[in-house]
Chain A
Amino acid sequence: MSTIRHTTRLLRGSRLRPSSFRFTQTRPLTTTPKVDLEAPTAPIRQPPNANSVHFPGALNSQFTSTMSFHAPNATPSLPTYRIMDTNGEIIDTSHTPTMDAEGMLKMYTAMVKTSIMDMIMYDSQRQGRISFYMVSSGEEGVAVGSAAALNPEDVIFSQYREQGALMYRGFRLDEFMNQMFGNRLDYGKGRNMPIHYMSERLNVHSISSPLATQIPHAVGAAYGLKREGEGRVVVCYFGEGAASEGDFHAGLNIAATRSCPVVFICRNNGYAISTPSLEQYKGDGIASRGIGYGIETIRVDGNDIWAVHEVTKRAREIASKEQRPVLIEAMTYRISHHSTSDDSFAYRPREEVESWKRRDDPITRFRKYLENKGLWDSSKEEDLRKTVKKEVMNAFMAAEKERKPRVREMFGDTFKEETPVLKKQREELKRVVAEYPNEYDLDAFEDGKDGL
């Protein structure tokens, strides 16, 4: 029965085209949505003597009488776009950066600030002052360069190694610290592990540990923005390891079929914890897959902040103006350990890491550019580092001193309203805590035992 109906639909496709949208609803959208998604209007059939196959699944495929399997290695690897070399010299002169000095220094400051916060927080985890941390060294260029190309209203979904993007957007040091200490000021009310940031103010969705789940979220959110019709886009970050998850496939495929204004940014840093990319995939990185989904794709040098910035700017424009997805694969190297729970020298040589650090670091490269331009020098560098260290330490000390949230926050927000079951369980805990006050560290929590 369904086959019959389906055929009927194709033959009379125009009958099914959306005729008009209704605007008498209770929650009006701001502008008229413009969506180009319609049922096929013409029947799909094989014209007589045609040399191309009109199979519905591949409309533009030509017949051939040469049997040839398409070998992946027969196609050259997709090139990596760069604007400046490792000495900070511009190579692609057609793309001379046009940003003013203030803008450039804002990017540079965000990178340095990120790397200093990383260093301090890494050490503080080693001292047992926070439970966990993830450093982003080597990848500050991808995060900051891309964030700088976005509008503040654009929505960000991230994985966890994109603190540079938050830093650039204006997530304050106290906000970072409150989250990491899970204190009473943390927006997530101390429920999530450190580095799982979020910001309503900055349109950054809460980070969750399950990898790649945010990819289809980003696509759904982008579809929402498409319907709102204001030209906002979604940016979705993930690593090359996460791209092996089914949600990557699902997300990119829906983004393409529903033409969603989303920019996917893959940080290909060579490792997923201990797994080198050689064991992650056999194709030409992540970029080659984008083409398979019918998504415009580019590979970029992730240690070149200008290249990342320009590419993201253009991708944003495509997504916003043409309302379709774009995939950016930013090639970089994970200089840091995966996390504070990982010693990466167990699976890669120390020299490899040292060589990347010395040879090609996004911060050093950009610093050279700024110095070449006469915008930066070693005394400015010293001042910046000194100031930032002080700022980070101040925020650190303040956040560490804050009490943890009220204990009752453990039960809140599970559902919008507390269910009778949860109320009972909260009261049960309250009774236990009242009976054995010395067994629990209640003073660390706001309002102590009364916080339940």
Chain B
Amino acid sequence: MATVRAVFRNGLRHARILKQQPTASYSSVASADRKFNKPIDYATSTYLAHSPATALANKELSEEVRKTSTTKKMNLFQAINDGLSTVLDRDEKACVFGEDVSFGGVFRCTMGLQERFGGERVFNTPLTEQGLVGFAIGLAAQGHTALAEIQFADYMFPAFDQLHNEASKMRYRSGGAEKFTSGRLLVRMPAGGVGHGALYHSQSPEGFFLGCQGLKVVIPRGPIQAKGLLLSAVESPDPVVFMEPKILYRAAVEHVPTDYYTLPIGKAEILKPGKDITLISYGTLTYACEMAAKHAKEQLGLDVEVIDLRTVHPWDRETVFASVNKTGRCVVVHEASRSGGIGESVAGDVQENCFLRLEAPVARVTGWDVPNALQFEDFMIPDVCRKFPIHQPFQWIANTINRYL
């Protein structure tokens, strides 16, 4: 114990020194002069349920859940934890594993699960992504529920062969044999920018899966979605890659139904109906879209329709086409690089299916085609105004309208 106390004391002393610094040097702070690029205020976002009543008003929940479930305030990692523990509780054949999941995970998503369900069902694997995903595929193919974790989406690539050549093709190459599918496979991975994650703790590799048929990719934007989509993903007969926006783990807080509930996979959600322009995003940037839509209304008088794709592959064409056919304009927003990103797929399909209704080219506001560099993150991830030469607010929306109207 002495050692632990000593370590802890040193830690506190260290923390005190850090506290004396005016700001952490590695994170930039919004200046008071900023009008648009302000930190997202999750506490007031209407895309999160701030009361039990709002949480249970969700029409996608079953009648029973809406009537009888209680709710609990959770952040994203707690909702993931709740989802995982719900699966482990209901399905004895479910196992949770990955690097460092036993003690609770480096993002606390698996906290308390080993204590509750035992080391046989919640365990650490050796540090090998190809190995642990391959292991998960075999376990799922044996009829068990495999809930694997890759510590960061940036480290998904060693397992890409297993995901792309094996998991995604297993049902297909086995002629649909139920015995040999990897349908009960879920691979979770924290993704996206986190302020200082640089090259290998910031990536959004969802676009790489666009060419991977047989696998679904889901990205939740908040705690309610995280739990509901995670439970759906487990039940889904197809393998699912589940990317969790790590910046939201603690930031996004809302009331989450405590009962078992699912949200549909493969369906987009219209967060705000509008008639002038369709704004499409998913994950973290849906909140930037909320602010952009608000400012666009105030500054430009535009009625923006905001869509959260939720399932980014294969994404919900029907909802998107219907929206763009209504508004005539479409902007896609994501953190990942433009080339090879989801935006390319959306833009291509939208122009093909909504050509006669399009009043402007489909615009893509995305990360640049560069790696995620440490000191330049503010300039990489699409923000509310995206600093172009002209200081026009909500450049993405305004540009689309002004240039092509």
Taking beta carbons and an 8 Å cutoff, which residues of A are in contact with B?
A: 1-9, 11, 15-29, 33, 35, 37-39, 155, 157, 186-189, 191-192, 196, 198, 200, 205-206, 208, 210, 213, 215-225, 227, 246-247, 249-251, 253-254, 257-258, 412-417, 419-421
Contacts and interface: CB of A to CB of B under 8 A. Distances in A.
Contacts of B92: 21-23, 25-29
A250 B177 CA distance: 27
B7 A4 contact: yes
Contact of B120 (A7, A25, A33): A33
A215 B161 CA distance: 13
Contacts of A1: 11
A402 to B, nearest CB: 15
Given A7-B7, A26-B90, A220-B139, A215 B176 contact: no
Interface in B156-203: 158, 161-162, 165-166, 169-177, 179-181, 183
B174 A188 contact: yes
B123 A220 contact: no
B173 A208 contact: yes
A18 B123 CA distance: 11
Contacts of A205: 141, 180
Contacts of B170: 206
Nearest to A250: B131
Interface in B311-368: 314, 317-318
Q: Which 3 A-B pairs have the closest CB atoms?
A: A250-B131, A216-B134, A18-B118
Given A39-B119, A257-B126, A217 B176 contact: no
Contacts of B369: none
Most buried by B among A5, A38, A216, A258: A216
A224 B120 contact: no
B103 interface: yes
11 contacts: A15-B115, A21-B92, A25-B89, A26-B90, A191-B172, A198-B175, A206-B177, A254-B126, A254-B132, A257-B125, A258-B125
B175 A213 contact: no
Interface residues of B, number: 72
Given A223-B139, A416-B238, A192 B117 contact: no
B130 interface: yes
A37 B124 CA distance: 11
B237 interface: yes
Contacts of A7: 3-4, 7
B351 to A, nearest CB: 16
Interface in B243-276: 266
Nearest to A189: B175
Among B89, B90, B128, B266, residue most surrounded by chain A Cβ atoms (within 10 Å): B128
Contacts of B179: 200
A217 B120 contact: no
A4 B4 contact: yes
A216 B131 contact: yes
B27 interface: no
Contact of B162 (A21, A35, A213, A421): A213
B136 interface: yes
B106 interface: yes
Nearest to A3: B7
Contacts of B128: 246, 249-250, 253-254
Given A220-B138, A249-B128, 8 more contacts: A21-B121, A26-B90, A27-B92, A219-B134, A246-B130, A249-B131, A414-B172, A415-B214
Given A26-B91, A205-B141, A221-B142, A210 B214 contact: no
A4 B11 contact: yes
Contacts of A200: 177, 179-180
Interface in B1-50: 1, 3-4, 7-8, 11
B140 interface: yes
Question: Which of B115, B128, B175 counts the most chain A CB atoms within 10 A?
Answer: B175
Contacts of B11: 1, 4
Nearest to B132: A254
B169 to A, nearest CB: 7
Contacts of B297: none
A221 B102 CA distance: 21
A224 B144 contact: yes
B266 A419 contact: yes
Nearest to B174: A206
Counting chain B CB atoms within 10 Å of each CB, the highest count among A157, A220, A421 belongs to: A220
B123 A188 contact: no
B134 A215 contact: yes
A421 B317 contact: yes
A221 B141 contact: yes
A215 to B, nearest CB: 7
Contact of A208 (B90, B169, B175): B169
Contacts of B141: 205, 217, 220-221
B93 interface: yes
B58 interface: no
A188 B175 contact: yes
A428 to B, nearest CB: 12
